[in-house]
Amino acid sequence: MIDEQDEIARRAASLLQKDSNIDINEAVLQAKLHLGLPRDTPPPSTTLVRRHAQALAMARLGQEGYAQQRYERLVTIIDFIRQLEHEFPRARLALVGRASEGHFDADPHVRIRFVADTPIHLIADVLVRAHLPDPEIKTFASRVGVLEQLHSAFDFAPLTITRCPPLQLTHAHLDLQTGKPLAQRTLLQLEQLLTR
């Protein structure tokens, strides 16, 4: 059973490396089908898939190349958050989720929390001026109510900015959907992460 899950995870990681348009769940499903396993075969954990994806990236880029790629991606995100902070000095910004730890393997996503009452179209203007793909505005039903989001992308990962009115964001350290604790870093904390 463990070997089977490891093989599914390895195959899913390989698929994710070849096609950045699929997510982990789809990659796992395709891996099971490719290996001739039934659809109801228990899936490996996303952590296991990501471990294999990291190993594949390190094998392809080498240790130094992998570290350099991670560094460059963090610098891109930091520069963008700096631009947002410059435009909106009263907003509180944080990078949340796996990207805040510097992890971009297997189905990466850059998620930024923008805590302020700033109209969403003004934030969208900054994305356009930053030469990111035209942002799409959507609403998101969170555990703290309906929030507005901007969806765009860096060249290495999709970007989602969630605008959280301060009075609505009751527990800033929790996931907006699940309510579980969430990794996050401010601009200063991200800059400190670069020096590690």
- pLDDT tens for residues 160-189? 999 999 988 777 788 888 888 899 999 999
User: Could you tell me which residue, 170 or 146, shows the higher pLDDT?
Assistant: 146
* Token digits of residue 181: 């604790």
Which residues are paired to 137 by β-bridges? 150
pTM of the model: 0.87
For residue 53, give Cα distances in angstroms to 11, 77, 83. Answer: 9, 21, 31
Say what the pLDDT of residue 2 is: 59
Q: Is the pLDDT of residue 1 over 70?
A: no
Burial class (CB in 10 A: 0-12, 13-18, 19+), 5: middle
Pairing of strands 136-142, 110-115: unpaired
d(Cα 30, Cα 43) in Å, to the nearest integer?
A: 11
Contact 69, 105 (CB under 8 A): no
| DSSP code at position 44 | P
Q: Is the pLDDT of residue 100 over 90?
A: yes
Q: Which residue has the tokens 């699929």?
A: 22
Say what the pLDDT of residue 161 is: 98
> What is the edge-to-edge ordering of all strands in the sheet holding 110-115?
136-142, 145-153, 158-164, 110-115, 92-96, 184-185
Nearest to 164 by CA among 98, 87, 112: 112
